[in-house]
């Protein structure tokens, strides 16, 4: 008799009982138990038999199992030591899966790619991300500029909305800018909380990030660009001038310089950070070195 997919309430409960596993709230563990959702995620990712897939937080292997059936190789990072024997059991039919018991935020992902996925035509990330560290995971991977062509990732709906947000909307902020600097973002589907065990408190959103060949805007100094974008949103209701007065050293002495720099970049000092486009932030960043009195 063929075994049921892991992504069903019956099989997940069977594994939970077999291993006496208890969920750790601190690790944001919510296991997906709906094969339709998983199939939609996999369809959106466009996996082929030549793909190498990185998964983060495989849990009991519900998504991993379906990835293994379609991809050339799957490399999964799981922080919880207690899940390793369960994954060895649940994924035993698949010889193309490697599970690494490491925190993705501390792991050398590039070295792992070099060791396990060099014979794959493309590398994708497909994952149900732990909600409490979604942003650090995504930004950590994007900033390393790894050879990853796309990300199809599930996250808290509110965070997913921020990734695709446009200027002058409530969800738009420094995270929107950072992600859109590196990728194009599209929403795939809303996932109701009832398809998880245990159910989280909020609905989820699956988004697809497709890596750009080069950043969306040209900047001379990426570190400065990101400092300026973050600084513009410290207090959303404040004008960009007031936020930058808090960001810069000795800003009271150099208020006129800050105003001149903003105006030279085509930005009215009375505007709010949430109204600026990526292009406008790049103008600010690239004009900054013309004002030697200003320092962050």
CA pair distance 167, 115, nearest whole angstrom = 41
Query: Does the annotation place 96 within a ligand binding site?
Result: no
For residue 80, cis peptide bond before it (omega within 30 degrees of 0): no
Per the annotation, does 59 bind a ligand?
A: no
User: Which tokens is 24 given?
Assistant: 């750790």
128 marked as binding residue: yes
Contact by Cβ (8 Å): 3, 89 = no
Question: Would the annotation count 101 as a binding residue?
Answer: no
Q: Please answer whether residues 37 and 191 qualify as being in contact, where contact means their C-beta atoms are separated by less than 8 angstroms.
A: yes
- Residue 28 is assigned to a ligand binding site: no
Q: Check whether 78 is labelled as a binding-site residue.
A: yes
Q: Which residues are annotated as a binding site?
A: 30, 32, 57, 78, 103, 128
Q: Which residues are annotated as a binding site for S-adenosyl-L-methionine?
A: 30, 32, 57, 78, 103, 128
């Amino acid at each position: 008799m063929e075994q049921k997919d892991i992504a069903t309430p019956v099989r997940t409960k069977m594994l939970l009982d077999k291993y006496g596993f208890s969920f750790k709230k601190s690790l944001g563990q919510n296991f997906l138990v709906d094969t339709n959702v998983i199939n939609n995620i996999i369809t959106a990712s466009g996996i082929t038999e030549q793909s190498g897939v990185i998964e983060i937080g495989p849990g009991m292997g519900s998504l991993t199992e379906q990835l293994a059936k379609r991809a050339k190789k799957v490399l999964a990072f799981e922080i919880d030591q207690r899940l390793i024997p369960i994954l060895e059991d649940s994924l035993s039919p698949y010889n193309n899966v490697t599970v690494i018991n490491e925190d993705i935020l501390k792991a050398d992902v590039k070295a792992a790619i070099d060791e396990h996925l060099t014979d794959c035509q493309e590398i994708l990330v497909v994952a149900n991300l732990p909600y409490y560290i979604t942003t650090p995971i995504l930004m950590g991977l994007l900033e390393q500029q790894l050879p990853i062509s796309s990300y199809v990732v599930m996250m808290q709906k509110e965070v997913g909305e921020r990734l695709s947000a446009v200027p002058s909307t409530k969800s738009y902020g420094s995270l929107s800018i950072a992600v859109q600097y590196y990728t194009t973002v599209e929403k795939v589907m809303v996932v109701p909380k009832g398809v998880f065990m245990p159910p989280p408190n909020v609905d989820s959103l699956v988004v697809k990030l497709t890596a750009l060949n080069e950043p969306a805007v040209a900047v001379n100094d990426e570190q400065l660009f990101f400092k300026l974008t973050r600084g513009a949103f410290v207090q959303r209701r404040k004008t960009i001038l007031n936020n930058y007065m808090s960001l810069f050293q000795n800003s009271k002495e150099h208020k006129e310089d800050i105003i001149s720099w903003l105006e030279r970049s085509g930005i009215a000092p009375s505007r709010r950070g949430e109204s600026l486009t990526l292009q406008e932030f790049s103008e600010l960043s690239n004009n900054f070195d013309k004002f030697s009195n200003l320092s962050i």
